[in-house]
Amino acid sequence: MTKRKSLFHGHRFPATVISHAVRWYFRFQLSLRDIEELLFERSMMVSYETIRRWCEWNEQPPPTVRICRI
């Protein structure tokens, strides 16, 4: 059995921090700077530009997912 690498392999921050920031951005429509402040309150120093890159990266579906419309 082979081990799969995490989708967030090579990122500086843990996967939970990235997924929470992206979820907050899309679900609650918070601004990038609001998310930056929320993470700062939780002792995470993340710039809004980093959050923007995470959201752009997660905005597109994986290439293996196909959307079929009839």
Write out pLDDT tens, residues 21-63: 988 888 888 899 999 999 999 999 999 999 998 888 766 544 5
- The more confidently predicted of residues 37 and 8 is 37
65 pLDDT above the threshold of 50: no
Q: Is residue 23, in this structure, part of any structural domain at all?
A: yes
Cβ atoms < 10 Å from Cβ of 51: 24
* Greater model confidence, 2 or 39: 39
Task: Say how many domains are in the chain.
Answer: 1
**69 within some domain:** no
Q: What is the pLDDT of residue 64?
A: 47
Better pLDDT: 11 or 43: 43
**Domain-embedded: residue 3:** no
Q: Is residue 67 assigned to a domain?
A: no
Which residue range is the domain that position 22 belongs to? 15-59
- Name the pTM for this structure: 0.69
- Distance set, CA 41 to CA 35, 36, 37, 44, 53 (Å): 10, 9, 6, 7, 21
